[in-house]
Amino acid sequence: MILRTDHVAGGVAIAAGLLVWAASGDLPFGRLSMPGAGMLPKLCCSLMILLGLVLIVRAGDSAPFSTIEWGDLRHAVPVVVLTAVAVALYTTLGFIITFSLLMFGLLAIERRNLIAAAAYSVGVSVGTDVLFSIVLKSPLEAGLLGF
């Protein structure tokens, strides 16, 4: 049997439905005349499981899983990692330092000229900070260094 995209998508939908259902144990379903907090989530979980099964049954219409092109992961993974690091450091380092580093990092993995990348990153970060602080009167996060 060829593993197809809908086999995987359907399997994930069923697993997610079961997982959320299990996490909903303490939520009361209630009665039809007085529905509880768990009614809609459990209906949605049931629907996800049902539709997951439909996807698996009809998976023959979908593309083989092996045909999915993952070449862009080389771009996506560094972007996600660098963004995650920036999010984690944002409130500590503040806007200007965090985003100068993030943008420089992203431009560095794109193999741009490092001096131009540094100038662009710092320029854009400082410019945006000024835009939000002065023009839009909505100051961005200041870090430990006070900016």
Partner 1 sequence: VGSTFDSLMLGFSVALQPGVLWYAFLGCVVGTLVGVLPGIGPLSGISILLPVTFGLDATKAIVMLAGIYYGSQYGGSTTSILMRIPGEASSVMTCIDGYAMAKKGRAGSALCIAAVGSWIAGTFGVLMLTVIAPPLAAFALKFGPPEYTALLVLGLIFLAYMSSTSLPRTLLMAAVGILLGTIGTDMTGHFRYSFDISELGDGIGIVPVAVGLFGLGEILSTPSASVTGQVLTPKMRELLPTREEWRQSAMPIARGSILGFLIGLTPGSAHIISSFLSYAVERRFSKHPEEFGHGAVAGVAGPESANNAASTGAFVPMLALGLPTGPITAVLMAALMIHGIPPGPTLVSDHPDVFWGFVASMYVGNVMLLALNLPLVGIFVNVLRIPYSYLYPLVIMFCIIGVYTVNNSVVDVWIMLIMGVLGYVLRKFSLDPAPLVLGLVISPTFELSLRQSLIMSNGDYLIFFQRPIALVLMVIAATLLTLSGISLLRKRADWRAKLAEAEAGEPSA
Residues of the shown chain interacting with partner 1 in the complex, contacts defined by CB under 8 A: 5-6, 8-9, 13, 16, 20, 23-24, 27-28, 31-41, 44-45, 47-48, 51-52, 54-55, 58, 61-63, 68, 70-72, 74-76, 79-80, 83-84, 86-87, 90-91, 95, 99, 102-103, 106-107, 110, 112, 120-121, 124-125, 128, 132, 136-138, 140-141
72 vs 145 by CB, closer to partner 1? 72
1 vs 31 by CB, closer to partner 1? 31
DSSP 28: -
Q: What is the per-residue burial (b if ≥16 Cβ within 10 Å, else e) of 94-112?
A: bbbbbbbbbbbbbbeeeee
Whether residue 51 contacts residue 13, with contact meaning beta carbons closer than 8 Å, is answered with yes
CB of 145 to partner 1, least distance (A): 19
Which of 100, 55, 64, 56 is CA-nearest to residue 82? Answer: 100
* Count of C-beta atoms within a 10 Å radius of residue 17: 21
What angle, 0 to 180 degrees and rounded to 10, lies between the N-to-C axes of helices 95-109 and 114-130?
Answer: 150
5 vs 143 by CB, closer to partner 1? 5
CB of 1 to partner 1, least distance (A): 18
23 vs 114 by CB, closer to partner 1? 23
- Can you name the residues that pair with 94 across neighbouring β-strands? 142
CB of 7 to partner 1, least distance (A): 11
Distance CA 32, CA 39 (A): 9
CB of 138 to partner 1, least distance (A): 7
